[in-house]
Amino acid sequence: MSPAAPFPAGFLWGAATSAYQIEGFPLAGGAGPSIWHRFAHTPGRVARGETGDLACDHYHRYLDDVAIMADLGLDSYRFSVAWGRVLPEGRGAVNQQGLDFYARLVDALLERGIRPMATLYHWDLPAALHDRGGWLNPDSPRWFADYAEVLFRALDDRVPFWITVNEPWVVAVLGYLEGQLAPGHRDLFETPRVAHHLLLAHAQAVAAYRSLGRHQIGIAVNLEPQHPESPSAADLEATNRRDAFINRWFLDPLRLGRYPEELASIFGLAWPDFPETDLERLRDSGDFIGVNYYARGLVRAAPDAPPLCAARVSPPDAELTAMGWEVYPRGLTQTLLWLKERYANPPLYITENGAAFADPPPRAGRVEDPRRVAYLRSHIAAAAAAIAQDVDLRGYFAWSLLDNFEWAEGYDKRFGLVQVDPRDQTRVPKASARFYREVIASRGAAAMPDWAPRGDAR
């Protein structure tokens, strides 16, 4: 591969969003409420009391947003389906009006030559299912597979890429252990059971897809290389625990058919004895792994912070994003190489990568965000470095297309390539959007050192 063509032919360039973060109007058209609708409307849960009631009003403005995608030259767009729009009770009767919204979105993308990548679950469980136990209910994998079948039957003729669950670690840990996100539980015993049911939900949806679908299906996981803060035995052991807890918890069952042995000691009596038959069902389910990468973990032993007894810290003088995450592009290369080595070089897509910064207001119709441009440039180059070492990387999706509702942070943390004014919904592409357009037009070369534009770059 020549320096002028650092990415292979057919490599997908895209951007990503999720339903509750951008759609707005979560109860419109017969939709049922989700756990995120409830959570955001619970005082004290979200910064400044903000909710996803309006978000980016993508529900009404999706054609405008698809036009922005086309202007960027996106090959693909990753979005999520709000389960409660399609099945208001989570099960049973289909809400055709909700399903039709996604059919119109898919058709609009295809008309612009943009391939859809649909995520089935990005954290917004129907509230009606939560009232039946949610992800703690042993029936939840079947509920999810039934929901997935509805989408496969309706859209698989037009959707070439499917993702089952986005970041199951976040759902289990931040939703059920730490209580930072919906549904806001704090229960050590619930956490591994929720995680296991999410994995079974993925596997059952993949099994359903094998009988109904004709394209590709995978899962998206948040990953970060873990580095010890010091060479002390305590820090090294804490780093290994955190690696098992974040990176291996969900991938080892799916690729190796077993859970990391460290989890039993981390959870102690809260760790269940999962049936071998369950682990057999999990193994080798899915066609690809979606990688959501934002930063590395620099780890210090923290004996007073059970159950992990490990803390993530920031190195002195590190550049941090508005989320407090270290900018560490080398970690993306390390993560991709680790996946190649541990799991026999599976097909990979970077399904999320981006950074939140405090952007200035528009001036003369422009938003300058040089730190985000630098972040994207360095991380795209890091992806190219992994490809040069024979990693089977097939696509890159920037997070996010739009400034949006950033969960418990509300609207203050801005990840978008496009600035969205929450007052009047004005969209203004940032300098990072212009840069990303150049990257796509040059098939990645614009992110590489010493690149200069050519008239035939596209």
Residue 169 belongs to a domain: yes
Query: What is the per-residue pLDDT for 452?
Result: 63
Q: Is 231 exposed, middle or buried (0-12, 13-18, 19+ CB in 10 A)?
A: exposed
Q: For the chain, what's the residue count?
A: 458
Catalytic, 438? Answer no
Residue 403 belongs to a domain: yes
CA dihedral 442, 443, 447, 449 (to 10 degrees): -70
Q: Which of 190, 262, 352, 406 is catalytic?
A: 352
DSSP 356-423: ---PPPPBTTBB--HHHHHHHHHHHHHHHHHHTTT--EEEEEEE-SB----GGGTTSS---SEEE-TT
Residue 1 belongs to a domain: no
90: left (phi over 0), alpha (psi -120 to 50) or beta: left
Residue 2 belongs to a domain: no
> Rounded to an integer, what distance in angstroms lies between the CA atom of residue 181 and that of residue 36?
8
**155 lies in which domain range?**
12-447
Q: Is the peptide bond before 183 cis (omega within 30 degrees of 0)?
A: yes
Q: Which of 195, 190, 176 is nearest to 260 (CA)?
A: 195
Q: Please work out, in degrees rounded to the nearest 5, the angle formed at the alpha carbon of residue 261 by the alpha carbons of 266 and 171.
A: 60
3-state SS string for 213-255: CCCEEEEEEECCCEEECCCCHHHHHHHHHHHHHHHHCCHHHHH
Q: Which of 382, 377, 420, 376 is nearest to 399 (CA)?
A: 376
Q: In this structure, is the dihedral angle defined by the CA atoms of residues 119, 120, 125 and 128, taken in order, positive or negative?
A: positive
Residue 452 belongs to a domain: no
Query: What is the per-residue pLDDT for 457?
Result: 34
Residue 7 belongs to a domain: no
Q: Which of 50, 167, 190, 229 is catalytic?
A: 167
What is the number of structural domains in the chain?
Answer: 1
Q: Where are the beta strands (DSSP E) in 108-247?
A: 115-121, 161-166, 216-222, 226-228
Residue 400 belongs to a domain: yes
In tens digits, what is the pLDDT along the chain, a chain of 458 residues? 444 578 999 999 999 999 999 999 999 999 999 999 999 999 999 999 999 999 999 999 999 999 999 999 999 999 999 999 999 999 999 999 999 999 999 999 999 999 999 999 999 999 999 999 999 999 999 999 999 999 999 999 999 999 999 999 999 999 999 999 999 999 999 999 999 999 999 999 999 999 999 999 999 999 999 999 999 999 999 999 999 999 999 999 999 999 999 999 999 999 999 999 999 999 999 999 999 999 999 999 999 999 999 999 999 999 999 999 999 999 999 999 999 999 999 999 999 999 999 999 999 999 999 999 999 999 999 999 999 999 999 999 999 999 999 999 999 999 999 999 988 999 999 999 999 999 999 999 999 987 766 543 32
Residue 257 belongs to a domain: yes
Catalytic, 352? Answer yes
CATH number where 277 lies: 3.20.20.80
Query: What is the per-residue pLDDT for 423?
Result: 87
